[in-house]
Amino acid sequence: MATVEKQRQRKYRVLGTRPVRHDGVDKVTGRARYGADTHLPGMLYAAMLRSPHAHARIVSIDTSAAEAMPGVHAVVTREDFPDVSNRIVELGEGAVNLGHLSQNVMARNKVLYKGHAVAAVAADSIHIAREAAQRIRVEYEILPPVLDVLEAMSDDAPVLNEDVRTEEFGGGTGDRPTNVAKHFHYEKGDVEAGFARAAVIVEREFRTATVHQGYIEPHAATALWNPDGHVTIWTCTQGSFTARQQTAELLGLPVSRVRVIPTEIGGGFGGKISVYLEPVAALLAKKSGRPVKLVMDRSEVLEGTGPTPGSYIRVKMGADRDGRITAAEAYLAYEAGAFPGSPINPGCMCIFACYDVPNGRIDGYDVCVNKPRTNAYRAPGATNAAFAAETVIDEICEQLGMDPLEFRLKNAAVEGTRRIDGVTYSRIGMKETVEAILNSEHYRSELKGPNRGRGVASGFWFNVGLKSTVVATVNPDGTVSLVEGSTDIGGTRTSVAMQLAETLGIAAEDVQPLVADTDSVGYTDVTGGSRVTFSTGIAAIEAAKDIQRQMCERAALIWDCPVDQVRYEDGRVVGPDGQAFTFKELAALVPSTGEPIVGRGTSGKANQGGAFATEVVDVEVDPDTGKVQILRFTVAQDAGCAVHPSYVEGQMQGGVVQGIGWALNEEYIYDDQGRMLNNTFLDYRIPTCYDVPMIDTIIVEVPDPNHPYGVRGVGEVPIVPPPAAIANAIYRAVGVRMDRLPMSPPRVLEKILQSRAAAPAQ
Amino acid sequence: MHDFDYVAPTTLDEAIAALAKHDGQARCLAGGTDLIDQMRTGRRRPALVVDVKKIPELNALVVSDDGLRLGAAVPCSDVYRNEGVAQDYAALADAARIIGGIQIQNRASIGGNVCNSSPAADSVPALIALQAVCVIAGPNGPREVPIERFFTGPGGNVLEAGELLVELRMPPRPPRSGSHYRRFIPRNEMDIAVVGVGASVQLEDDGRTVAAARIGLGAVAPTPLLAEEAARVLVGRSVDDEAALSDAAEAARAVIRPIDDMRGTKAFRSHVTGVLVQRVVRAAAARARGESLDYCPGH
Amino acid sequence: MAKKRVVSAVINGEPTDFLCEPRQTLLEVLRDVLDFTGTKEGCSNGNCGACTVRLNGRIVDSCLVLAVECDGAEIETIEGMAGPDALHPLQQAFLEGAALQCGICTPGFLVAAKALLEENPNPTEQQIRFFLAGNLCRCTGYDKIVRAVQACAAAASEH
């Protein structure tokens, strides 16, 4: 089925059209330069040595055999890193403890997960570097690992970090070392009274596995350390400024001494915000006096970067006879991995965020375990939470005999709804996404055939604002060069350029966007939180308005009239007596009539109103093997204003398929010693194109009042509903309720066989 | 990758000499899709890599009245594109078509799949069903080993130092026979078999009664298995007889020795072995009747 | 150390000699020696297809080919796909159909899709999906990639 778009008044000239992306030709011809494509004269290749143990004390490291190998130029270990312990800094998407970050980049006293970096070698070739790394002798005192989130919370669990104390929400700190780093608590209304009023109460427990963002491009960083103490780093990062700040902080340098040149980035999804390689490559470059390239292989990506947490979640929800939620309660424990910092707080805030819950209580725990330090992954924390909440809702609907979409419509959060965590919504589109699915051809069609079922689920994600800078220069040929700081992962050069073009009334093709390095453009936060089209877009609009103002001044100068008699309108500068310039005409006169016209725009004040998605899926379950096939999938999502509909659809489709992978097969599989067993793309099974159908999209446009054109970020929320929607579909297909992710064939089959055994003989 | 030397002999004798000289420290390279990854990760560190793709005997692919001769270096894509193979040795084509993606199939050979000797090798249950014989050359002359006796354990086989697999030979197909290979994997493509089943079925004139059958099982024991009892219980019974198929499934489950690993549990493998045996026997019988199979790999 | 070898191959139509160690893969030589960095490394073990090139006309994962094996071979990389004046129709279809987001998998998909359409000019959706299963994309959900291949095939069959 073709994409359905909500009928929209054509009030924009550029927004809503589908121009070819500006960086497209480079990317279909292989010319675009990604992280590992950097090549500098005299460059060395580096390799990491990583811990084979999940939990151990490092007794000693002997690098002499590696240093003695011909072709080896430098070796770095913990000895080379300055002590930055326990400084807390804001890094764009949350506060980070620098001591922990530094220990994650290079282990100090202990290794806390298999794959934890222990040493690195720079050599003439990657083969020499790898062989040399293997010759580094590390003596470990092996400690018992703790891998399960609930076990890690118990009093007798091995403690990973001696400096971690439980921080209580609203103040107070524990008095002894623990794995429980934080406890969040939110409450609204009278929960007990709410449950007392309920006609139906469902309470269930859920588990979800650790999963990885799975970007196809491994992390890569190349560093050059000049004798004057200036460091240049080429890296594939979601945020060049945060990469600069982290690198500078970990090396003890002022930020002005570090220049980060962002390469093209082959996917991130939240996983390329933290630094892993940059400080290490820099130190190898300093020691060797040569540029050094450090690239991960796939196993290092899976074992040594930041997947998103496995979790334990318990949800209790009550509803009255009419299907109104009377109370809801949740307990969430997320695996932070080696160091504190899981997305538990967003998990808590998202779990009931789609609904108007009159009485609610949420407790969340951030818990260290001997797995990689977790990181953001597309709507971080929300997918785990939605799997639990949306499955419980499905069960309530079943007990009430109510259509699950009607239930969602009845309880949908709207403008003015206050979430349990206290936030009150501005205009949002939750209800509209539910209506879009209710009215869809997919949902209205009949699903026939044995072992087939249809499931629905909704999801919420905040989206963030944060800061961006855009500088735009008018060229004499009537085009505009746009310089921005947002690295482009999925077509944002174009979605930002289109907003500048719309504001100036010129064609998208007449804007040339360029992603600049940290010395060439103003501060810009990460490409994350679905923020670039929203916030860098606002900066582009501001830059365009700045250009409009200067163009008007220039026209006033040319016409010799007061500037207040000149206005910018529909891509033209209009003055008194019917005088007018098109943008192109006036641009051609700029060089001969005065100084250059350069627009400047920044953003940072606006926050986004939040994004919602509702999804429907048809599955077929093989009752004899437990394997689930996705037959049909439709996603409806509120995009506010779809700037480039193709790339909006692409975000929706990509998010859904990641959600399908999370639902069905993706997981970190460990042995009892905490060694990841499936550290390749062979056994860490992300969906292939042969595993999924076309993903139908319905773009809903409820403008966000916080953006001049109503734009909402679209990147993250589509990943939130799929696991729950699929679980609900499996139930309809074969009558088993799944409470664990992934819903892999052995788990589904086990449930089917259990239910057959429990059923009375036919 | 570790440092190693490379030769690409053009005759069998040269290859045998090179292998023998390095006494266990040499490794044959055909498609390289297993070996190169094993060397990259340090699981194998041969001093010499012997590229066998330039040896004529290892490139044979002949279907004749004498049966099928398949050189050990012939890539999977040549195997399934060969009409004679696709027609008469369909189980082998089924396996070749799902070993890795197309990129892998253009390099990986059936011989390499056999010599890598993974218990989960997709081609082997098919080869067992099709009564393949391994033709081996070495310093002490040629010898032949039935495929089901080629393997000694995970990654292990009967090849001695200096020996190499030259070709796989399969007898001519009997009339009214059909074969099929299918595996269970969590995705629809690109996975290692959790259970793999190959079957060959020959029917009586009635198109229903089993005259003879052979069943090969993969990924359910330290080596691929010939499930003799599972095949025997089918003989003389109709392929439409649910009890017969169920007996075959039970007999297959009785001979397997599966393990728990990240790809599946013992219980899951045991259950799915029975399920697949029934499906594969039905499909092979359909082919024996000349019906085309409504089968989508991975489903 | 094993001696370096001289390998003579034809790359994107150009006769090319290069030096390599036996342990260097074709992918490493293409990227680090010959500067054909359009071929990408995603997994190093034949599961993602980002390093797909044509070797004697057939698509292979160049991470699983030794460069020394390529003596006398014809190799085609993404850099050889566009003509001097125009993109290949598949490249154009990917651009117009927004069939890429981050773009890292795009060269591999294009090289593979070109091989598919040469072999089967009118593939069904399932045939496209089966053929391209060895190429992973994590951004697009594959929908627009499959549609771009369909669009290209449809346009070609009209001519």
Give me the residues of A, 650-669, that contact C with CB < 8 A.
Answer: 650-651, 653-658
pLDDT(A760) > 80: no
DSSP state, residue A81: S
Give me the residues of A, 691-720, that contact C with CB < 8 A.
Answer: 692, 694-695
Give CA–CA dist A632/A618, Å, rounded. 5
Tokens of A397: 């609907």
Number of structural domains (chain C) is 2
pLDDT(C11) > 90: yes
Point out the residue among A27, A126, A656 whose CB comes nearest to the CB of C106.
Answer: A27
* Fold (topology level) of A2-32+465-603: Aldehyde Oxidoreductase; domain 4 (3.30.365)
Whether C67 and C127 map to the same domain: the answer is no
User: Region B28-52: what's the mean pLDDT?
Assistant: 97
Chain A residues touching residue B272 (CB < 8 angstroms): 624-625, 749
Whether C73 and C95 map to the same domain: the answer is no
Torsion angle (degrees, nearest 10) of CA A296, A301, A305, A306: 150
DSSP state, residue A219: P
Among the four given CATH numbers 3.30.365.10, 3.40.50.620, 3.20.20.80, 3.40.50.2300, the one describing domain A427-459+611-762: 3.30.365.10
pLDDT score recorded for residue C158: 85
Tokens of A631: 């037959």
Point out the residue among B4, B32, B296 whose CB comes nearest to the CB of C65.
Answer: B32
Chain B residues touching residue A677 (CB < 8 angstroms): 261-262
Point out the residue among B3, B187, B262 whose CB comes nearest to the CB of A688.
Answer: B187
pLDDT band at A697 (very low <50, low <70, confident <90, very high): very high
pLDDT score recorded for residue A4: 43
Please say which residue of C53, C80, C107 terminates a domain.
Answer: C80
Structural contact between residues A294 and A48, judged by C-beta atoms closer than 8 angstroms: yes
Give the residue from C78, B221, B104 showing the smallest Cα distance to A28.
Answer: C78
C129 → chain B, closest CA residue:
B189
- Cβ-defined contact of A625 to B192 (cutoff 8 Å): no
Give CA–CA dist A140/A58, Å, rounded. 5
Structural contact between residues A703 and A693, judged by C-beta atoms closer than 8 angstroms: no
User: Region B6-17: what's the mean pLDDT?
Assistant: 97
> What's CA A684's distance to the chain center, in Å?
19
Beta-carbon contacts of A423 under 8 Å, excluding residues fewer than 6 positions away, are: A349
pLDDT band at A1 (very low <50, low <70, confident <90, very high): very low
Q: Boundaries of CATH 3.30.365.10 in chain A?
A: 2-32+465-603, 145-208+306-402, 427-459+611-762
> What's CA C94's distance to the chain center, in Å?
14
The residues pairing with B5 across neighbouring beta strands, listed in sequence order, are B48
Tell me the CATH number at C116. Answer: 1.10.150.120
Report helix, strand and coil shares of chain A as percent, to nearest 5. 30, 25, 45
Structural contact between residues A612 and A428, judged by C-beta atoms closer than 8 angstroms: yes
Tokens of A76: 């770095």
Give the Cα-Cα-Cα angle B181, B99, B152 (nearest 5 degrees).
Answer: 75
Point out the residue among C49, C66, C135 whose CB comes nearest to the CB of B6.
Answer: C66
3-state secondary structure of A318: strand
Give the CA distances from residue A482 to residues A236, A536, A586, A601, A713, in Å, rounded to whole numbers and listed in that order.
21, 11, 18, 11, 21
- Cβ-defined contact of B275 to A625 (cutoff 8 Å): yes
pLDDT(B284) > 80: yes
pLDDT(C4) > 80: yes
| Cα Rg, chain A, nearest whole Å | 27
Q: Please state the length of chain B.
A: 299
ipTM of this complex: 0.98
Predicted confidence (pLDDT) per residue in B46-76, tens digit: 999 999 999 999 999 999 999 999 999 999 9
How many B/C residue pairs have CB atoms within 8 Å? 92
pLDDT score recorded for residue A10: 63
User: Region A454-462: what's the mean pLDDT?
Assistant: 98
Predicted confidence (pLDDT) per residue in A46-60, tens digit: 999 999 999 999 999
pLDDT score recorded for residue A89: 83
Predicted confidence (pLDDT) per residue in A149-176, tens digit: 999 999 999 999 999 999 998 889 999 9
Whether C10 and C71 map to the same domain: the answer is yes
Report helix, strand and coil shares of chain B as percent, to nearest 5. 35, 25, 40
Point out the residue among C2, C58, C61 whose CB comes nearest to the CB of B3.
Answer: C2
User: Region A9-32: what's the mean pLDDT?
Assistant: 94
pLDDT score recorded for residue A93: 61
Q: What is the largest CA-CA distance in chain C?
A: 56
pTM here? 0.98
Q: What architecture does CATH give domain A145-208+306-402? A: 2-Layer Sandwich (3.30)
Whether C59 and C100 map to the same domain: the answer is no
Beta-carbon contacts of A165 under 8 Å, excluding residues fewer than 6 positions away, are: A173, A174, A175, A176, A177, A178
The DSSP H or E segment spanning A242 is: helix A240-251
Tell me the CATH number at C58. Answer: 3.10.20.30
Predicted confidence (pLDDT) per residue in A101-120, tens digit: 999 999 999 999 999 999 99
DSSP state, residue A257: G
Portion of chain A with pLDDT greater than 90, in percent = 96
A678 touches chain B (CB under 8 A): yes
Point out the residue among C36, C129, C136 whose CB comes nearest to the CB of A686.
Answer: C136
Angle between helices A722-734 and A645-664 (to 10 degrees): 60
- Cβ-defined contact of C138 to A18 (cutoff 8 Å): no
Predicted confidence (pLDDT) per residue in A662-678, tens digit: 999 999 999 999 999 99
| Residue C106: domain span | 89-158
Give CA–CA dist C78/C103, Å, rounded. 13
Chain B residues touching residue C52 (CB < 8 angstroms): 103
pLDDT band at A574 (very low <50, low <70, confident <90, very high): very high
Chain A residues touching residue B219 (CB < 8 angstroms): none
* Fold (topology level) of A35-143+219-295: Aldehyde Oxidoreductase; domain 3 (3.90.1170)
Give CA–CA dist A665/B190, Å, rounded. 13
The tokens 């003389």 sit on which residue?
B236
Chain B residues touching residue A629 (CB < 8 angstroms): 188, 299
Structural contact between residues A300 and A333, judged by C-beta atoms closer than 8 angstroms: no
pLDDT(C96) > 50: yes
Chain C residues touching residue A690 (CB < 8 angstroms): 129-130, 132-133
Predicted confidence (pLDDT) per residue in A188-227, tens digit: 999 999 999 999 999 999 999 999 999 999 999 999 999 9
A613 touches chain B (CB under 8 A): no
Report helix, strand and coil shares of chain C as percent, to nearest 5. 40, 15, 40
How many A/C residue pairs have CB atoms within 8 Å? 186
Distance from CA of A283 to the nearest CA of C (A): 23
pLDDT score recorded for residue B140: 94
Structural contact between residues B132 and B144, judged by C-beta atoms closer than 8 angstroms: no
Tokens of A334: 């997320």
pLDDT(B153) > 90: yes
Chain B residues touching residue C58 (CB < 8 angstroms): 77, 106
B296 → chain C, closest CA residue:
C126
Alpha helices in C24-77 (DSSP H): 26-28
pLDDT(A392) > 60: yes
Whether C13 and C75 map to the same domain: the answer is yes
Q: Boundaries of CATH 3.90.1170.50 in chain A?
A: 35-143+219-295
Please say which residue of C80, C105, C130 terminates a domain.
Answer: C80
Residue B119 Rama label (left phi>0; alpha psi -120 to 50; beta): alpha
3-state secondary structure of A117: strand
Chain A residues touching residue C113 (CB < 8 angstroms): none
